Amino acid sequence: MELHKRALKNFKGNPEKTFFYSLTDSYNGELCQKKILEYVNILENIKVKSVAISLKNSIDWVLWYIASDYVCKHVYLVSSDFSNSLTNKIIQKYNIDLLIRLENGKISLHQPKDSPFSCYLNSTDRADIIFTSGTTGIPKGAVISEKSFLHVSNELIKKTEQNMNDLELLSMPLDRSFGLARLRTCLLSGSSCLITDGLKDFPSIYKFSKENKITGISLVPSALQIIILQLRKKSRIFTENIRYFELGSSSLIEEQEEWIKNNFENTIILHHYGMTESSRAFLKRLDIKKNLPKRFVGKPLNGVKFKINIK
C-alpha cells in the first residue's frame, strides 16, 4: 500500500506535471489522480480482494496497477503474452476475484465463477505475484513482497540519482520483473516516463526524444541492439541528454559495452543480474573508469542477502 500512497502524493503535489507519455498522448498529475480514484471506486464497489492484470504496456496498465494495489491484498501480474486458456487456469487455481484485460481495444473486467480451489500464494505482507515463464519456460508465480520492492526501488533511485525532473524511456514489459522495477522507481521518485510497447516504432521514439529531453533509459541488451542499428551516426543526438542508463536480464556482448562507453560519457550506467525472484541481486557500474574482470556480474545490492545452491 505504501507504493500507491507515495505515487498519489507525487501526482497530487504536481497537478500540472506530465507523468506518463505515450507516443500519442500524456497524463498530468490531475488526470492521473482522477483516473486512479475512479478505478479504486470500481474495485471497491465490486468488493474484490485480489486482482489479476493482463495488459500490454500502456498508461492504463499503470493506473490500474496503482488502483489495484490501493484496494487489494494481492495483485497478480499475468504476462500479457500468455494464452487466454492459460490465464484462465491461473485465475481459477489461485481463486483470483477479478481479471483486468484488453478485449477488442477496450479494457474489460472479468469476475470468474466460483472455483473449488483456494490456493493464494503465501506472503508475509502485501505483494505482487508475477506470473511469467522466465528463463525456465515453465509458467510460475514469483512472490515479491512490498518491503522487498520498496527497498530495491529506493536503492536504485539513490544509485541513478533519479528525481522529479527526469524523463525515462520505459520500453520493457511492465508485467515482468525488470520493467516493473523501473516503473516503481518512476512512481516513487516522481519522475516521468515514456511508456512504449517495446521499440517497434523506434523512429517515433527518436522523434519524441528530439522534442522532449529523455534523461534516463532502461533496456534489455536485445533492445539496445535495435537502438545501435537504428541510430548509426545519429547516436549523439539521441544520447546527449541521458543522465542514467540501466540494463538487465542478460549479459552484454563486447561490442555493446564499447558502444555504451563511446556514446554515454558522464552517464551513470548500471547493469544488473538476477532472475524474477531475485531481481537485481547483483549490480555493476559500467561508467567507472577501470577494466572490470571478464564474467564479473557486479556486487550485491545494498541490504540484500542471498545464497547460491549448487546441485
Residue 190 pLDDT > 90: yes
Per-residue pLDDT, averaged over 137-142, amounts to: 68
Average pLDDT over residues 48-63: 89
Per-position DSSP letters for 186-240, written without gaps between them: HHHHT-EEEE-STTTTHHHHHHHHHHS---EEEE-HHHHHHHHHHHGGGHHHHHT
pLDDT above 90 for 18: yes
Question: pLDDT-based confidence at 216, cuts 50/70/90?
Answer: very high
Q: Report whether pLDDT(189) > 50.
A: yes
Cα–Cα distance for residue pair 182/35, rounded to 1 Å: 22
Backbone dihedral angles phi then psi of residue 32, each to the nearest 5 degrees: -55, -50
pLDDT at 274 over 70: no
Average of per-residue pLDDT across 28-51: 92
Q: What is the pLDDT of residue 113?
A: 66
Predicted confidence (pLDDT) at residue 209 exceeds the cutoff of 80? yes
Contacts of 47 (CB under 8 A, 6+ apart): none
* Single pTM value for the model: 0.85
Q: Does pLDDT of 247 surpass 90? A: no
Least confident range of 16-20, 24-28, 83-87, 99-103? 83-87
Question: How many residues are recorded in the chain?
Answer: 311
Query: How many Cα atoms within 13 Å fall on the side-chain side of residue 135?
Result: 10
DSSP three-state, residue 26: strand
Q: Is pLDDT of 141 > 90?
A: no
Percent of the chain with pLDDT over 70: 80
**Beta bridge partner(s), residue 127:** 74, 145
Report which of 256, 250, 238, 244 is spatially closest to residue 285, judged by C-alpha positions: 244
Distance CA 268, CA 263 (A): 12
pLDDT given at position 116: 47
Q: What is the mean pLDDT of residues 152-166?
A: 90
* Per-residue b or e along 33-57, where b marks 16 or more CB atoms closer than 10 Å to that residue's CB: bebbeebbebbeeeebebbbbbbeb
CA distance 126 to 101: 22
CA 81/CA 56 separation, integer angstroms: 8
Quick check: 197 pLDDT over 70? yes
**Nearest CA to 126 among 139, 113, 142, 143?**
143
Contact predicate 257/130, CB 8 Å: no
pLDDT grade, residue 230 (50/70/90)? confident
Contact 199, 226 (CB under 8 A): yes
Most confident stretch, 112-121, 179-188, 256-265:
179-188
Mean pLDDT across 211-215: 90
Reported as a pLDDT band with limits 50, 70 and 90, residue 123 is low
- Beta-sheet strands, E only, within 59-117: 74-78, 98-103, 106-110
pLDDT at 83 over 50: yes
> What contacts 80, CB < 8 A, 6 or more positions away?
54, 55, 56, 173, 175
pLDDT: which is higher, 118 or 155? 155
Q: What is the mean pLDDT of the chain?
A: 81
65/75 Cα distance (integer angstroms): 8
Give the per-residue pLDDT at 306. 64
